[in-house]
Amino acid sequence: MANITAHDARRRTRPWVSLHGLRREATRIRLSLAAGLRPGEPVTIAAVALLALSVYFVLLPGVDIAVARLFHSPETGFPLADNVALKALRKSSTYALMLIVLGLLGEIAVGLRGRVGRFRHYSRRAVVLLAGLAIGPGLTVNGLLKSMWGRPRPIQTDLFGGDATFTPAWTISDGCAQNCSFVSGEASSAAWMVAAVWLMTPPEWRRWTVPAALAYGIALSVNRMAFGGHFLSDTLLSWAIVGLVLAILHRLMLACPVEARRVRRAQRDRIRAA
């Protein structure tokens, strides 16, 4: 009885977070990310896509100008910016995003009401998506890049009726004070919505839902270029950034725990067999 009491006392005085536990968790994250960087893994694909697009637009900045000119008229500027249907399309993204977020919160609430320790499969995916929305479109795109890079929008440059100088992708500029062109916030939200449909839709439905979501996301992204609000690099790099953020979160929060459980089961099976 004394031994049990002493053991309980040691457990009560043991800190909630130990240095050993932090080291073990850091090692788990490091090994998980290292495994996620193997060829064919989503993290690798997203990272390579982001790097390749960045190099392409840095070396060939004229591509942004050429694509923007497709939507520009010397007489009327960007005429599609006044199109009623395209304005409605842009406005619809706000409601679509709100509906998806509410649906994810509802899924998490349903999962929390389930059996203790049995968090629903789709609820865990909802947590990953909401974290990705906060880190990708929220913190990285709107909080960091759009507020600090200062790239003027196409309509603000002297090439398309403005007075600012064109700035290539990834070049920090003072041509825009706030809510600037690099990168596209609405394109990043569109990419996130496509990912949400992919992760939250049952596999047998994806052959219809994913192409529809992809078409909608592409339409929203092209719409911003048609309005003179963003260059091609702004939209494509937004998609790549959001893809990389979600791939990393998926690896750490979903794929890694699954791998850890599989390893533990294999270890238990070997012990029992011995």
Is 124 domain-assigned? yes
Q: Side chain identity at 25, as an amino acid letter?
A: E
From residue 103, how far is each of 112, 116, 198, 253 by CA, in Å?
14, 22, 14, 20
CA distance 210 to 194: 7
pLDDT given at position 74 = 92
Is 8 domain-assigned? no
pLDDT given at position 112 = 84
Q: Which domain holds residue 84?
A: 18-265
Chain centroid to CA 177: how far? 25
Torsion, Cα 202 235 90 86, to 10 degrees, reads -110
Burial per residue of 144-161, b for 16 or more beta-carbon CB atoms within 10 angstroms, e otherwise: ebbeebbbbbbbbbebbe
Angle between helices 84-112 and 206-226 (to 10 degrees): 140
Q: Side chain identity at 250, as an amino acid letter?
A: H
Is 3 domain-assigned? no
pLDDT given at position 201 = 94
pLDDT given at position 12 = 47
Is 12 domain-assigned? no
User: Do 240 and 49 touch, CB atoms closer than 8 A?
Assistant: yes
Is 2 domain-assigned? no
Is 221 domain-assigned? yes
pLDDT given at position 47 = 95
Is 6 domain-assigned? no
Is 190 domain-assigned? yes
pLDDT given at position 254 = 83
We report the CATH number of the domain holding residue 126 as 1.20.144
Q: Write out residues in the chain with pLDDT < 70, as ranges.
A: 1-37, 114-119, 257-274
pLDDT (tens digit per residue) in 158-215: 999 999 999 999 999 999 988 899 999 999 999 999 999 999 999 999 999 999 999 9
